């Protein structure tokens, strides 16, 4: 999985992404409405990356690291995730999600990455429906 937009690269997570992912997931403002506390140790980010990498293997899809082309930095994540447990009577659904480091909020990156992810889901994965929730 590799997606590219005008300003972004969406690619599979790598072990070397742990530091930037920790910067994201340890921020209380980012995690405010997620339902889980901010991460407190970088090993938690390393474990998150391993979990996402396993989803690539098990499901053929998973959240992708979002790299800003201009800076070359990981600025967040975006993409589809296969949800296998039942939600509102549905299971085995694709869920669209994203999360960004606050300094990159308000720049249209969420919409840009979401559009690329939806295009991938509908055209490559042949999904009939893709869900998202807040």
List, for residues 56-90, the tens digit of each pLDDT value. Answer: 999 999 999 999 999 999 999 999 999 988 777 77
> What is the pLDDT confidence band of residue 34, given thresholds at 50, 70 and 90?
confident
pTM above 0.85, yes or no: yes
> What is the pLDDT confidence band of residue 45, given thresholds at 50, 70 and 90?
very high
CATH number for 80: 3.40.630.30
Note whether 94 and 82 are within 8 A (CB).
yes
Number of structural domains, the chain? 1
Tell me how far apart the alpha carbons of residues 71 and 9 are, in angstroms, rounded to a whole number: 11
Please enumerate in sequence order all residues whose Cβ is within 8 A of that of 128, keeping only pairs 6 or more positions apart, or say none: none
Tell me how far apart the alpha carbons of residues 24 and 119 are, in angstroms, rounded to a whole number: 25
Note whether 113 and 78 are within 8 A (CB).
yes
Full residue range of the structural domain in which residue 72 is found:
2-131
């Amino acid at each position: 999985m590799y997606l590219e937009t005008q300003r972004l690269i969406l690619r599979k997570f790598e072990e070397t992404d742990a530091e930037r992912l920790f910067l994201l997931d340890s921020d209380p403002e980012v995690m405010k409405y997620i339902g889980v506390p901010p991460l407190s140790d970088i090993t938690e980010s390393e474990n998150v990356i391993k979990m996402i990498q396993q989803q690539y293997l098990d499901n053929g899809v998973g959240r992708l690291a979002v790299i800003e082309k201009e800076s070359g930095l990981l600025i967040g994540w975006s993409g589809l995730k296969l949800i296998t447990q039942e939600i509102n009577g549905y299971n085995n659904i694709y869920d669209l999600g994203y999360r960004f480091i606050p300094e990159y909020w308000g720049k249209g990156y969420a919409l840009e990455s979401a559009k690329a992810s939806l295009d991938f889901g509908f055209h490559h994965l042949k999904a009939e429906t893709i869900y998202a929730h807040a």
